[in-house]
Amino acid sequence: MRVLSVDLGTSNTVAVLSAHGRPPRVVEVDGSATMPSAVFAAEDGGLVVGRDAERRARLDPARFEPNPKRRVDDTTLLLGNTVITVTDAMAAVLQRVADETKRQLGGSMPDEVRLTHPAQWGAIRRNVLLSAARLAGFGPQLTLVPEPVAAAAHFASFPERSLAPGQALAVYDLGAGTFDVAVVGATPSGFVVLAENGLPDLGGLDVDHALLVHVGREVSYRDPSKWQRVLRPESTADRRARRTLLEDVRAAKEALSRHPQTEVPMPEPFDDVLVTRAELEALIRPSLLRSIELLADTIGSAGMSPESLAGIYLVGGSSRIPLVAKLISERLRVVPTSLDQPETAVALGAHHVPQDGTSARTGQLPPQEMYQGGVTAPYPTTVTNGPSFPTTGPQPVQHQAPPQYGGFPQVPQQQAKKSSKPMLIGVAASIVVVLAVVLGIVLLNGSGLPSASECQKPGEADPKGFSSCLRQLAGDVADNVQCDPGAKGLAENALGRIQGVKVTCQLPAGNGAPTLTVTYAHAPSMEIVQDIAKNVVGDSRTEQVEADWGGNGLTGHYQATTNEGVGYLVFTVKDRPVLGMMTVISTSGAAPKANDLADYFERQVQPGT
């Protein structure tokens, strides 16, 4: 029996092969245990993947996508002037694995292929992965394995670390793109996911970004306009410089896991920057503390305590950061475990998942007195060769309030009350099942969000002043802060002439925080929206920051600038005549920085955050 397990990660892909009765081993692609999950669209229409894609990206970065898995919810990718589907991009990565596996098997394909996926992925995302595997030429016998189940199976495969029935393991998975946590319990017939959660905005890429911002603060004063071109490249040369810098920042992050300090090479005219482990830890400590708190909450939601677990297992390449283990030990009083290379744990663990399994949905651990001992076996979700249709949408990730920073006010987040009565768990579980059924019916009948065509003209406003299209743009802000109809404050001059729906939201200020207002407007046409954005930001001669954004089913562009002590950020939607205008007045007299405005928007105001 030839079995191939593939862990298609955000930054890297790992494959493990077991054949001819030999123990599982990592399939080396291009001489390495990990292959970059990157794709490059060649001018002839072909897709280049892995390290070859990274090399080609140095010549034309616009044709490069380093993390296609992070774009799983997008339908298509624009690489240069080539449009490809996300499924095709992921299939190209899997195809490279298939080709190397076939070469090592002497021209044969494996009898079974096991694909791991985040536990929180719903049917739609899982079907994207399955479609990509079929396009890559993998045979009809495909098995889906939730990543925490594979990690638990890897943990239990070591005799000194085995899980007896009734025991549970917490899996702390800090990958490149996301953070996922799950509590996995062992049963006589397999494993069951008792609780799961995650942070979509925390991963190795976010650590890279924090370090990039840090070194930028050290050097950008020498030539602010040049630094902005590095961050938002305008030419091929700029994109090459940015690509090289991102690689150097990532290498510095990895070096700081082994050494107390290292240097980050900087593009001209900037000097190289010396960074220390202590500086990096100070940058990422608030984010890592969020992950530790979520770990503790997830353990608690499974009805357990940290000391009652068989262990806390660290997987994912970013879990190598020494501060991760240190914070878990300090906060939970449990020393976490990391076996072998954390990057390969999931792919290796998938090999210990037998064919006969149960549902991949979150379940409950049966009473321990039911167990008769014996070695447990984890479960898969087996997929036959027939067509697979989604029955639910992507499973939502519980929103975690980001840390307050930059002196700006923070959007209030709704907090869920914790129950201290175990007897209510059964009732809560029943409610969850009913809600899941209702949610599935709703998703089958549409997302409930307005379409682009429905938003071409302003609609009726609700009591708070929002049209359905503006409410989609506002996201959580519409429900969590004080909002009133009309354009008010500094936005009145810019938006007052719009003959449409307008609403202004005031974010609470205090403790020296600046006054921050967000005004949303639904204009009669795209031309009016573009004129407003140009008038507010386009003519400013001070520092400017701009970038694309996406969330809550929308994509668009934002621009930030400052003028006479006031910060302005205008965000628009690419296919709808709606916009938002964020204004910030500092109470300290110091003008806010455009970069700080952009960071605050992406963490607190951008829809979907």
Which band of pLDDT confidence, cut at 50, 70 and 90, is reported for residue 5?
very high
Nearest to 600 by CA among 489, 503, 509: 509
Residue linked to tokens 């980050």 = 264
pLDDT (0 to 100) of residue 413? 46
Is 158 in contact with 110 (CB distance < 8 Å)?
A: no
Poorest-pLDDT segment among 276-280, 355-359, 601-605: 355-359
Model's pTM, two decimal places?
0.57
Question: pLDDT tens-digit profile of 391-403?
Answer: 222 222 233 333 3
Is 302 in contact with 183 (CB distance < 8 Å)?
A: yes
Tokens for 15, please give them. 């494959």
Poorest-pLDDT segment among 29-38, 234-243, 478-487, 585-594: 585-594
What percentage of the chain has pLDDT greater than the value 90?
35
Domain residue limits, the chain: 453-605
Sign, Cα dihedral of 492, 493, 494, 499: positive
Question: pLDDT tens-digit profile of 244-284?
Answer: 899 899 999 999 999 999 999 998 889 999 999 999 999 99
Question: pLDDT tens-digit profile of 427-456?
Answer: 444 444 444 444 443 443 344 688 888 899
Query: Cα angle vertex 528, ends 492, 461, to 5°?
Result: 60
Q: Tally helices (H) and strands (E) across the chain.
A: 16, 25
Question: pLDDT tens-digit profile of 498-540?
Answer: 778 899 998 865 545 567 899 999 988 888 888 888 888 765 5
Q: Residue 477: what are its φ and ψ, rounded to 5°?
A: -60, -35
Cα–Cα distances (Å) from 510 to 105, 408, 507, 589, in that order, read: 65, 9, 10, 15
The neighbour count for residue 250, using CB atoms within 10 Å, is: 18
pLDDT (0 to 100) of residue 587? 61
Cα first-last separation, the chain = 46
What is the rounded CA–CA span in Å between residue 515 and residue 396?
Answer: 32
Which band of pLDDT confidence, cut at 50, 70 and 90, is reported for residue 86?
very high
Extract the runs of DSSP E, i.e. beta strands, from 508-596: 515-522, 544-551, 554-563, 566-573, 576-585
Question: pLDDT tens-digit profile of 19-59?
Answer: 877 888 999 998 888 999 999 999 988 999 999 999 898 88
pLDDT (0 to 100) of residue 225? 87
pLDDT (0 to 100) of residue 538? 62
The neighbour count for residue 110, using CB atoms within 10 Å, is: 23
Tokens for 171, please give them. 């899996």
What is the rounded CA–CA span in Å between residue 382 and residue 386?
Answer: 12
* Mean pLDDT in residue range 213-235: 87
Which band of pLDDT confidence, cut at 50, 70 and 90, is reported for residue 354?
low
Containing H/E element for 454? none
* Mean pLDDT in residue range 203-227: 90
pLDDT (0 to 100) of residue 371? 34
Burial of 2 (0-12, 13-18, 19+ CB in 10 A): middle
Higher pLDDT: 303 or 443? It is 303
pLDDT of 380 above 50? no
Higher pLDDT: 120 or 444? It is 120
Containing H/E element for 118? none
pLDDT (0 to 100) of residue 357? 40
CATH topology of domain 453-605: Protein Transport Mog1p; Chain A (3.40.1000)
- Concatenated DSSP letters of 540-556: --S-EEEEEEEETTEEE
Q: Is 475 left (phi over 0), alpha (psi -120 to 50) or beta?
A: left
Is 182 in contact with 170 (CB distance < 8 Å)?
A: yes
